[in-house]
């Protein structure tokens, strides 16, 4: 049984990020892979041995502050899971909490997990719009589409790779030209949508890692993604038409 664990989805799932969980679950089911989703509620403790993929969605500043202490308490379990090859997909507010801290527009500092060397400081305005990103994964380049809505500007530490290069939209800070972060199988991104329905390549990358962790075949049989790709094409066109 493949085990997908969303962290605090009752608080961190703004802009339908819970859809990422549904996509991983459904793409496993379409392939006949038994799968279970076990949300970690606020106050619960993560069992690192009971997760094959961990997802954290986005949230308002107050939601992030509400979960920060509980999430930090899960750092030993998260480090253990990550060291064991469990993929982590963190979106927006969840991405920010992968880092050392998020300082909001009022100056309130919400501490993060420090799992990835990055810091986030809210800017004077929000970065909102459709986004198109080029992602280099191994020897291939993939397109990632979606939308973003965040005040935070994220600075990656010296040794941290961005997830991709912004072709349209703001990305990490609206200046660097980079979006997200990737530290082995830990992926952070500002891209909502939810992210995975229109980016099936990324869904299958995370699903393949999860299967590998579970000792299941990681070379997933291709699915008919024609509809997903039509949606991705439309989103890319909108992002390019809006290019700042």
Binding positions for ligand GLN, rule: CB under 6 A: 14, 58-61, 64, 92-93, 96, 149-152
Nearer to ligand GLN, 50 or 175 (CB): 175
Min dist CB 161 to ligand GLN, Å, is 21
Give least dist CB 191 to ligand GLN, A. Answer: 10
Strands across the sheet with 53-56, in order? 35-37, 2-7, 53-56, 88-91, 186-189, 181-183
In the complex, minimum distance from the CB of residue 123 to ligand GLN, in angstroms, rounded to a whole number: 9
Angstrom distance (rounded) from CA 37 to CA 224: 23
Distance CA 192, CA 32 (A): 27
Distance CA 47, CA 167 (A): 38
The residues that are catalytic are: 92, 192
- The Cα-based distances of 162 to 8, 108, 124, 179, 203 in angstroms read 25, 26, 23, 6, 18
For β-strands 140-156 and 118-137, DSSP reports them as: antiparallel
Closer of 16 and 231 to ligand GLN (Cβ): 16
CA distance to 28, 64, 149, 209, per residue, from 93 (Å): 26, 7, 10, 23
Closer of 48 and 169 to ligand GLN (Cβ) = 169
First-to-last C-alpha distance (Å) of the chain: 45
DSSP structural state of residue 220:
P
Least distance (Å) from ligand GLN to the CB of residue 159?
23
Look up residue 91 and give its two tokens. 């979106």
CB of 88 or CB of 220, closer to ligand GLN:
88
Nearer to ligand GLN, 106 or 140 (CB): 106
Residue 17 beta carbon to ligand GLN: minimum distance, rounded to whole angstroms: 8
């Amino acid at each position: 049984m493949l085990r997908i664990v969303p962290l605090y989805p009752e608080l961190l799932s703004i802009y339908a990020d819970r859809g990422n969980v549904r996509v991983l679950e459904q793409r496993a089911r379409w392939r006949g892979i038994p799968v279970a989703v076990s949300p970690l509620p606020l106050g619960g403790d993560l069992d690192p041995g009971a997760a094959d993929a961990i997802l954290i969605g986005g949230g308002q500043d107050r939601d992030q502050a509400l979960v920060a202490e509980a999430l930090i308490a899960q750092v030993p379990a998260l480090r253990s899971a990550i060291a064991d090859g469990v993929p982590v997909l963190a979106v927006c507010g969840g991405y920010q909490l992968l880092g050392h801290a998020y300082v909001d527009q009022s100056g309130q500092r919400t501490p993060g997990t420090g799992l990835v060397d990055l810091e986030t400081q809210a800017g004077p305005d929000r970065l909102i719009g459709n986004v198109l990103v080029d992602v280099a994964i191994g020897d291939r380049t993939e397109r990632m589409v979606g939308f973003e809505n965040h005040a935070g500007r994220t600075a990656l530490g010296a040794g941290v790779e961005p997830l991709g290069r912004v072709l349209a939209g703001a990305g990490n800070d609206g200046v660097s030209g980079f979006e997200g972060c990737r530290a082995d199988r830990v992926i952070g991104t500002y891209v909502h949508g939810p992210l995975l329905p229109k980016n099936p390549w990324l869904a299958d990358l995370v699903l393949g890692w999860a299967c590998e962790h579970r000792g299941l075949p990681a070379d997933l049989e291709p699915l008919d993604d024609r509809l997903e790709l039509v949606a991705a094409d439309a989103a890319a066109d909108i992002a390019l038409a809006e290019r700042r």
